[in-house]
Structure 1
Amino acid sequence: MEAVPSRCLFLLFVFTCKLFLEVAAEVQESSDGPGALEPVQLTDVPAAMEFIAAAEVAVIGFFQDLEAPAVSLIHSVVQNFQDVSFGISTASEVLAHYNITGSAISLFRLVDNKQLDLESEDIKSLDATKLSHFIESNNLHLVTEYNPMTAIGLFNSMIPIHLLLIMNKASSKYEESLHRYQEAAKLFQGKILFILVDSGVKQNGKVISFFKLKKSQLPALAIYQTLDDEWDTLPITEVSVEHVQNFCDGFLKGKGLRENHESEEKMSKVEL
């Protein structure tokens, strides 16, 4: 007589598991499936301003209508940039507010309050690869990791002073150090670009040698003035907001121990 309730319990268990799997599949599909990430429709100026203010990097397509060929390009690259917010607007008041007369795809950066535009003439020859390159090379955040692509955007920025944290990302202290570095970056927003250089990447050895640092001196901070190539370094045992703030303040006030190198010793800025 005990077999009946046991069988009922088994069937209940199977049903529960099946229901759980179905729900899990639906959740997975909604979060990771096709169309999981879509550009936000921006219908008025306040919505657009709020959207831009809430993101470190935002890309907005401004179009006269949604039939424009470039609209599909934005949809095609959204999934590739998890740290970028995408929007689309066809509202005439929004286009006028951002000085768009035809069509444009614009990238907005919180770090230096910059608006970079791909305008109508550029859009005509645009494809997904070119749009991705435009975003990658200008994708600057409060803390931007250095690589050959971001180097282009860094040196095209209007902010002439760059602070580098040179540290191995494989270090057990990396996550905590990055968090403190990000907090310090907020104090100098619009004044200094904060950059992370992974010393564990072989190609980044040229950055370490440029600042005449040895592996034994890492992690270290290096601050660089792009206009006159003045720089200073500070080997550190740990990253703290106070250390970063004092180092930056000293450089900004001209109290740092700076070095100025002859032109033959300099690398090209884009190659740094």
Structure 2
Amino acid sequence: MEASCSRCLLLLFLLTCELAPEVAGEVEESSDGPGTAQGPIWLTDVPTAEEFISAAEVAIVGFFQDLEIPVVSVFHSMVQKFQDVSFGISNNSEVLAHYNITRNSISLFRLVDNEQLKLEGEEVENMEAAKLSLFIETNSLRLVTEYNTKTGFGLFNTMIEIHLLLVISKASPEYAENMNRYRKAARLFQGKILFVLVDSGMKENEKVISFFKLKKSQLPALAIYRTFDDQWDTLPITEVTVEHVKNFCDGFLEGKLLRENRTSEEKTPKVEL
């Protein structure tokens, strides 16, 4: 129960940042076949469906027994709105049986934690565009996900309990190269640690930075947090390297915190959530 409470408290804290809705939700666009303006990819058999889902960081699949229900056209409209997400559709009985679909359903598959999130039955059959759009925005987590008010919910609903934040300005000259290395490191910890980007250049992110007691002069920095027991640590860095990230994450996983003895005063921000 305590773990659940602390996770909710941190989520509430981060969501008070009130980020502008136009901030992009994901850092890393899929290069593995996102949906096109023409419509979702038809998944006509099980091998095609498996290949489609495994090739994308985020895949949205409409499993429809009935193609005449209103949500099918709503589903098609999402393809244009989320052009960096892979969309598939199927009414093939073998495909539906393979994914244990017994009712009309829309599923979101995430590579980052091998999660399948599902909307089904009456909930999906009468779903409006706004609700489906929110479901996709909230849950489209990637190997590296940029934190904002919408992705915040998805970040704290994942089964991955350790989150690594790279706090860096996206306007910095070194940003692109640092992100390249950060993405490479993310693949080493897939399923174990959720990698997040926090743009320190956004005023709305100041509370996230202060939560980890980081000063602007210490940025860029890595901040790691474990949701079930509130353990966290930070590491100011001059540049992001795969080795730095790996050593920091390995040390945390092994229980080696850089700052072993935090005082009760250092934990005060969590109490004030």
TM-score above 0.5: yes
Partner of 1:133: 134
CA contact (8 A) 1:231 1:260 kept: no
TM-score normalised to the size of structure 2? 0.82
Displacement of 1:79 after TM fit?
A: 1.2
Q: SS at the partner of 2:165? A: strand
Percent sequence identity over aligned pairs: 69
Whole-angstrom distance in 2 between the partners of 1:103 and 1:267: 44
Report matched runs for 1:163-242 at 5 Å. 163-242=164-243
Whole-angstrom distance in 2 between the partners of 1:209 and 1:103: 45
CA contact (8 A) 2:69 2:125 kept: no
Per-residue CA shift, 1:23-46, capped at 9, x if unaligned? Answer: xxxxxxxxxxxx734100001111
Partner of 1:152: 153
Q: SS at the partner of 1:229? A: coil
Q: 2:269 aligns with which of 245, 254, 265?
A: 265
Per-residue CA shift, 1:195-227, capped at 9, x if unaligned? Answer: 000001111100100000000000000000011
Q: Which protein is richer in helix relative to its size?
A: 1
Partner of 1:6: none
- What is the aligned length? 235
Whole-angstrom distance in 1 between the partners of 2:160 and 2:225: 11
Partner of 2:256: 255
Per-residue CA shift, 1:45-74, capped at 9, x if unaligned? Answer: 111110000000000000013222211011
Gaps of at least 5 residues in structure 1 are 1-34
Aligned CA distance change for structure 1 residues 261 and 99 (closer, same or farther; 3 Å): farther
CA contact (8 A) 1:224 1:231 kept: yes
CA contact (8 A) 2:160 2:193 kept: yes
Whole-angstrom distance in 2 between the partners of 1:101 and 1:53: 22
Which stretch shifts more, 260-269 or 124-133? Answer: 260-269
Q: SS at the partner of 1:233? A: strand
Partner of 2:39: 38
Partner of 1:25: none
TM-score normalised to the size of structure 1? 0.83
Runs (4 or more) in structure 1 with deviation over 2 Å come to: 257-265
- RMSD of aligned C-alpha atoms? 1.7
- Which letter does structure 1 place at the counterpart of 2:269? E
Per-residue CA shift, 1:98-143, capped at 9, x if unaligned? Answer: 1110100000000000000011121134111100100000010000
1:99 to 2:100 alignment: yes
Displacement of 1:267 after TM fit?
A: 7.0
Q: SS at the partner of 1:178? A: helix
Gaps of at least 5 residues in structure 2 are 1-35
CA contact (8 A) 1:230 1:260 kept: no
Partner of 1:7: none
Whole-angstrom distance in 2 between the partners of 1:36 and 1:162: 34
- Which letter does structure 2 place at the counterpart of 1:246? N
Partner of 1:58: 59
Displacement of 1:257 after TM fit?
A: 2.5
CA contact (8 A) 2:70 2:126 kept: no
Q: SS at the partner of 2:79? A: helix
- Which letter does structure 2 place at the counterpart of 1:244? V
Partner of 2:81: 80
1:111 to 2:112 alignment: yes
| Larger-gyration structure (1/2) | 1
